[in-house]
Amino acid sequence: MSGPAKLPVSVRAMLSLYGLAWCLAQSGLRRNKRLQEGWDNRTLSAGTPPKADIWMQAASGGEAYLAWELLRRLPDFLSPDFKSDGRKPTVLVTTFTSQGMGVLQKAREDLAGSVELLPAWFPFDVPSRMDRALAAVAPKALVLLETELWPGLMAACRKQQVPALVLNGRITGKSLGGYRRMPGFWRALGPQRILAVSDDDAGRFAKLFPDARTGVMRNIKFDRLSFEPAPQRQDLAALLPPDAPFIVLGSVRKQEEKEVLALIQGLQKRRPDAVIGLFPRHMERVDAWSKLLCGAGIPLTRRSANEPVQPGAVLLWDAFGELGAAFGLARACFLGGSLADLGGQNFLEPLAHGIVPVIGPSWSNFAWVGEEIFDTGLVRQAKDWQGVLGVLCELLQRAPERQAVQLAAEAYAKSRRGGAEAACQAVAEYLICG
C-alpha cells in the first residue's frame, strides 16, 4: 500500500456503531456454550496474539483444512533470501470454532518441521480490539480464507498498511446483495487482492471491491480430495441382512424432514427388501425422527442398540463418525441439505467408496465442484423427493461398478487441482517483499 488509507467519516461512524453493537452483545455471547471456550482470548483479556509473518483466518473446520493444505506446500514457494537464515515462516491461524481449533492443533504437529503454525481463537471483531491485535501480530499480510470479511479487522489493516488477501474466495449472489446495501463502506475496507474459485465468484467480488486486484484460482478443496476408501467396518456389516440392499440417507436436515419421511415411505413401497440407514445431520434430531417414524408405522432400530435389523426397517443412526463407513456398505445413497434451500451437504465422500450420490436441487455450498460433475454421471440430481426416489431405485437396480466410479472421481478431481500452489504463490510474494 502506498500510504495510510484515510477512512471516510461515514465509514468511521459506521465502525463505531459496529463496535458498540459487539460490546452490547457481549453479555449474551458469554452465555453461548460454543463461545465459552477461549473466551479470554476472544476478548483479548488474556493478552494479544503472538507476532507472526502471516495472519490467516480460517472460520471453522473446513477452512482450517484449507489452511493446513496451503501451509503444507508454502515452504516450496519461499525465496532463497527468506530461507537463507534457516528460519521457518511463522503463521498465526485463527478460528472461531472448537472444530477449527482441533484441526489446527493437528496441523501444527504435522507441519512442525517446516512451518511454525500458531493456532489461536479469532478475537471478537470489535474495531478497537482488532487494532490492538493486528499491531501485536504485525504480519506482512492478512489472509482471509473463502468469505471471512470482518470489518474491524479489515479496517485495522487499512490503518496499519497491512495488505489483506482473500484466497479461495467465494461469495453467493444472495450474500453480495447484502453487502452491496453499504457499497461505500465495504469499498473503503476492501482487500488488496482476491483470488476467487470461479469466474462468477470473481465477478461478484469485483462488484463489491472494484479497487481490488481480482483473479481466479482453482479451489484448494480439490487438492485435499482423496478417493481412497476407508477399510470396511465388519461390525457395521454384521448389523445388516447379507442379501438386503442398504440405502443411506445421509446428513438429513430438520427443514427437509417431511420430504425425507415421504422418501422413506416411497422406498419401503418400492423396495421392501431394503434396509435404510438414516443419518440426521444433527444428533438432537434423533428423538424427533424416532417419533416421526413410529407415528408413520415404520419399523426402526437405533444404531446404538447394536442389534441386527430386518429387511424393510430403518436403522436410525445415533452414533457419530460412521457415515463414511456406512457408504462403504451401501448400494445407493442420498445426501441431505439439498431438498430444502440449504446449499447441500458433502456429496463427494460417497465417491471414495464407489457410490454415486443422489442429491436434491440445492447444492450452492458445493458449486465449486462444477456443474460438469452432473454431466459425468458421478453425481445424480433430482428436483424433488419423488425424483430422488426414482433415481435411488434406478441405482439399486443398475449400480455402476465401484472401482470405475472411484477412478472417474479421482480423474475429475485431478484435472482441477492446483489451487494450493496458486495460493502459496500469492502468500509467498508478501514474504519475499517483507
The pLDDT of residue 80 is: 80
> Which amino acid belongs to residue 310?
Q
Whether 2 maps to a domain, the answer reads no
Whether 25 maps to a domain, the answer reads yes
pLDDT tier for residue 1 given thresholds of 50, 70 and 90:
very low
Whether 143 maps to a domain, the answer reads yes
- Do residue 209 and residue 244 come from a single domain? no
- Do residue 275 and residue 374 come from a single domain? yes
- Taking residues 78-102, what's their average pLDDT? 88
Contacts of 247 (CB under 8 A, 6+ apart): 267, 271, 274, 275, 276, 277, 330, 331, 332, 333, 334, 392, 396
- Which CATH number goes with the domain that contains 257? 3.40.50.2000
- Do residue 285 and residue 273 come from a single domain? yes
Query: How many Cβ atoms sit within 10 Å of the Cβ of residue 197?
Result: 24
- Three-state secondary structure call for residue 164: strand
pLDDT in tens, 405-416: 999 999 999 999
- Do residue 334 and residue 426 come from a single domain? no
Strands 193-196 and 164-169: parallel
Whether 334 maps to a domain, the answer reads yes
- Do residue 282 and residue 316 come from a single domain? yes
Whether 225 maps to a domain, the answer reads no
- Do residue 347 and residue 424 come from a single domain? no
Task: Please give the grid coordinates belonging to residue 281.
Answer: 445431520
- Three-state secondary structure call for residue 70: helix
- Do residue 197 and residue 290 come from a single domain? no
- Do residue 202 and residue 83 come from a single domain? yes
- Do residue 306 and residue 178 come from a single domain? no
Q: At what angle do helices 257-270 and 385-397 cross, to 10 degrees?
A: 40
Task: Please give the grid coordinates belonging to residue 268.
Answer: 419401503
Whether 3 maps to a domain, the answer reads no
Whether 195 maps to a domain, the answer reads yes
- Do residue 287 and residue 176 come from a single domain? no
199-206 LR contacts (CB < 8 Å, sep 24+): 201/169, 201/170, 201/171, 202/169, 204/171, 204/172, 204/173, 204/176, 205/166, 205/169, 205/171
Instruction: Work out how many domains the chain is built from and give that number.
Output: 2
Residue 298 has pLDDT above 70, yes or no: yes
- Three-state secondary structure call for residue 275: strand
Query: How many Cβ atoms sit within 10 Å of the Cβ of residue 296?
Result: 14
Domain hosting 34: range is 9-218+418-433
- Do residue 388 and residue 270 come from a single domain? yes
Is the CA virtual torsion 320, 324, 328, 332 positive or negative? positive
The Cβ-side half-sphere exposure at 390, using a 13 Å CA radius, reads: 8
Average confidence score pLDDT of the chain = 94
- Distance between first and last Cα of the chain: 12
Whether 223 maps to a domain, the answer reads no
- Dihedral Cα 258, 261, 266, 267, nearest 10 deg: 140
pLDDT in tens, 7-61: 999 999 999 999 999 999 998 999 998 899 999 999 999 999 999 999 999 999 8
Query: How many Cβ atoms sit within 10 Å of the Cβ of residue 38?
Result: 18
- Do residue 276 and residue 397 come from a single domain? yes
- Which CATH number goes with the domain that contains 422? 3.40.50.11720
In eight-state DSSP terms, residue 138 is: -
- Dihedral Cα 55, 60, 62, 66, nearest 10 deg: 10
Distance of CA 239 to the CA centre of its chain: 32
Residue 224 has pLDDT above 90, yes or no: no
- Taking residues 325-340, what's their average pLDDT? 96
The pLDDT of residue 5 is: 62
